[in-house]
Structure 1
C-alpha cells in the first residue's frame, strides 16, 4: 500500500473533534494537534499552523474565539514544548533504560573509569577541620626554627587531598619534597618524631626524601609499606590491588604491613604487589613513570586502557570502550597535561589505533 502525501490524510481524528461533545475546547484543541502530528509524521506541529487549522475547522463563533484564544494557544505551546523536551531526553539517553545514546555505556561496553563529582580545590584536613589550599605553588609545612625550639609535643596529623584534574607539590616538616598527582592524598604528622618519619598515602605520589640515617622514612599504604633513608621514588596504588613502587635513586625496602621484608630495590627497578600479597621486581623506565611530575603525560609501549584511565583521571572523565578489542593495544604517546582534553584525544587519534571521542563527561572508544 502506497503512503499518502501530506494532504491525503485520514480524517477520522477531525471527525472525532466534531463529535466529542463531552470535551472542552482545550481538550479538543489538544486532540486536533495530536491528529495533525500523527498525519504529518512529525514529533511536533507548528503552534500557529495548528491553531489556524483548529480555528477554521472547529472553533466556536468569533466572539467566543477571542475570549479563549490566549488560554488555548498557551496550552498548545506547552504541549509542543513538552514534546520537544521528551525528544531531547530520549536523544540524550536520560530516559530509564535508554543509555545507548550520546556515547554512554550500553550492555557489552567496558567502563574503564567512571566520571565522578569532584571538588575543584586541594584540601587540608586537620583535627576534623577542612581548609582550601592555594595550589599554584609549593606548599611548605616546614616549621620555623623558633617554633621548633618552643613547640610542645603534638599528635596532630594533616591530610592533603587532591581532586581529579589537580596536582600539588608540598614540602614536609623534614624538608622532604612530595608531589601528589590527581585524586590522591598524603597524611603526615605536624612534626616527625625522632626515630621514624611516617606518612600514609593513596593514589600516585612522587617522593624526594631528605636523608636522615637516624630516622628512616616510612610510607604506609593499604598493601605494602616502603622504608627509605634518602631517595627518590614513585608510588602508585590507583588500583588498590596492584601497588607499584619505582625507584629513581637511592635504595628502598618493601615491607609487608606487618613489617617483614618483601624486596629491596635498586635504581631503575619497580616492585609490583599483586592481589595475593606477593611482590615482583622488574626493570622499568623511571623517566616515563615520573614525567607527570614535570607536567607531561608520557607513555611508552603502554596499553591504551592505561593511557585513557590516566587521561580520564586528570580531566575527571569516564572512559568507556565500545570496542574492547583495542583496550590492550600498546601505544607510545605524550602530551602536555595543561592542554585541553580535546587536543590530547586528537593526538591519540593520529596513532590510528582506535576512534576516540569526547561525549559529555566520557572519553569513548569506538
Structure 2
C-alpha cells in the first residue's frame, strides 16, 4: 500500500467518506494494532502490510463502527503504520542519527481534549468539561444544552417577547491551551473552536445581521440566511458571509490573520483601512497591513479540525506554536536559527507529544528535551 494511498484512506475514514471495503481496512488495522497497544510499533513493509490487511478482513466480520474519539486515538498509531512512519522532510541535509530519536517515556505529555469555559450574559461561568450532559442553563427564549458528544447547543424557544430581551445578551465560550470545543449557535451555525480561542455571540440573533467576535482559531459552517448576513469580527479584520464553510486563524501572538474558504463565498475586510477582498473556495486571505490572497490546500488548513497536524514546508517556530497551544506547554529554542528550519508532514493531534517530537528528530536536524511542561529545542 503506497504512502499516499494510506494517508488518503485515513482522511476519508475520519470524514466518514469510506466505502464499506475501505472502512473494513481501517477498522481491521485498528482492532489488530490496539490489541497490542503496549508493544513498540515498528515500521511495516508496504507490500506485506497490505496482504496482512486483506487476510484479516476475510476472517473478521466488523459489525460496529468506531466512535470518532476512538478513531482519533487510533490515528496516533495507525497513521504511523499506514504512511510508513509519517513522511517528514526538512531543508536540512543532516543525516538521520543511527541511534534513533530520544526516549520521552518518563516525561511524555498527553494531548488536549474537549475543554471550555462558558460565560453567560449575567457573568456566571460554567466549566463545560465538568458540567453534566443535558440542559445546563436557560436564558430568555433560549435553552443551552451539553450533548453526550461534548457539544454545546443553543435552542431557541418560540417566544417573541423573550427575543426582545435576549438580543443584548452576550455569551462567550473560551477554550484553554490544550482544549477545543464545538458550539451550535442559536441560528444553527456550527463552530469548532481550536485551542486557546474564544467566541462571543448573542444568545439569540436579531436585527439585520448575525455578528460574532473571535479570538484565536475557529472553523465555521454558517447556516444560510440571505436576509441576515453572518459577520465574524477579529482584531484585524471582518468577514461577511451569507452561508458557507470557512476557517479563521486570528491569534493575538500571530503577526497575520488567515481566512481559508472551503465552500461558498466570503468577503474579508481590514478594520484599519477598509481594504477588502472576496474569496473563492480554495483561497486564503492573509491579513496584516494589507490583504494578500493565495491558493491554499484546504485539507492542510482544516487538518486541526479533523484531528491532525499537517505541515507543508512550515517553519519550526510555527509548528511549535501549535504544539504549545494543543499540549499546553512552553517551548524554548536554545538557538535562534532552529526557528527557521522547515518541515513537511502529517501527524495525529491525539497522540502524546513525543509522537511529533520523535518524528521531527528523525530528520537529524533538531532534537528536544522535556522538562515538566517545557519543551526545549536543541541542535
Fold match, TM over 0.5?
A: yes
Cα RMSD over matched residues? 2.2
**Which of 274, 283, 302 pairs up with 1:269?**
283
Task: Give yes or no for the alignment of 1:341 onto 2:335.
Answer: no
Bigger Rg, structure 1 or 2: 1
C-alpha separation in 1, matches of 2:272 and 2:242: 20
**Which of 95, 118, 123 pairs up with 1:124?**
118
C-alpha separation in 2, matches of 1:225 and 1:216: 12
**Which of 198, 201, 207 pairs up with 1:188?**
201
C-alpha separation in 2, matches of 1:201 and 1:260: 19
C-alpha separation in 2, matches of 1:290 and 1:340: 21
Report what 2:266 is aligned to. 252
Q: CA deviation at 1:249?
A: 1.0
Q: CA deviation at 1:344?
A: 2.1
Report what 1:305 is aligned to. 317
Q: Which runs of 5+ in 1 are unaligned?
A: 1-117
Query: Contact 2:209 / 2:230 at 8 angstroms: preserved in 1?
Result: yes
Report what 1:226 is aligned to. 239
Query: Contact 2:115 / 2:181 at 8 angstroms: preserved in 1?
Result: no
C-alpha separation in 1, matches of 2:373 and 2:258: 28
Q: CA deviation at 1:194?
A: 3.4
C-alpha separation in 2, matches of 1:202 and 1:259: 20
SS of structure 2 residue aligned to 1:358: strand
Report what 1:353 is aligned to. 365
Q: CA deviation at 1:342?
A: 1.8
Query: Contact 1:342 / 1:358 at 8 angstroms: preserved in 2?
Result: no
Query: Contact 1:222 / 1:240 at 8 angstroms: preserved in 2?
Result: no
Alignment deviations for residues 286-337 of structure 1 (CA, whole Å, 9 cap, x no partner):
2101011111111121111111110111111111111222211211122221
Q: CA deviation at 1:151?
A: 4.3
**Compared CA separation, residues 159 and 322, structure 1 to 2 (3 A):** same
Report which stretch shifted further, 345-354 or 153-162.
Answer: 345-354
**Which of 173, 185, 209 pairs up with 2:222?**
209
C-alpha separation in 1, matches of 2:159 and 2:151: 21
Normalised TM-score (structure 1): 0.63
Q: CA deviation at 1:131?
A: 1.1
Q: Which structure 2 residues correspond to residues 97-246 of structure 1 after superposition, within 5 A?
A: 121-126=115-120, 127-134=122-129, 136-144=149-157, 146-147=158-159, 151-154=163-166, 155-238=168-251, 239-246=253-260
Q: CA deviation at 1:241?
A: 3.6
SS of structure 2 residue aligned to 1:218: strand
Q: CA deviation at 1:258?
A: 6.9
C-alpha separation in 2, matches of 1:140 and 1:259: 36
**Compared CA separation, residues 168 and 143, structure 1 to 2 (3 A):** same
Q: CA deviation at 1:192?
A: 0.5
**Which of 283, 293, 311 pairs up with 1:281?**
293
Report which stretch shifted further, 175-184 or 249-258.
Answer: 249-258
Normalised TM-score (structure 2): 0.61
Query: Contact 2:115 / 2:180 at 8 angstroms: preserved in 1?
Result: no
C-alpha separation in 2, matches of 1:222 and 1:171: 23
Higher share of residues assigned strand: 2
Q: CA deviation at 1:175?
A: 0.5
**Which of 300, 308, 312 pairs up with 1:296?**
308
C-alpha separation in 2, matches of 1:167 and 1:204: 10
Q: CA deviation at 1:240?
A: 4.9
C-alpha separation in 2, matches of 1:160 and 1:258: 26
SS of structure 2 residue aligned to 1:179: strand
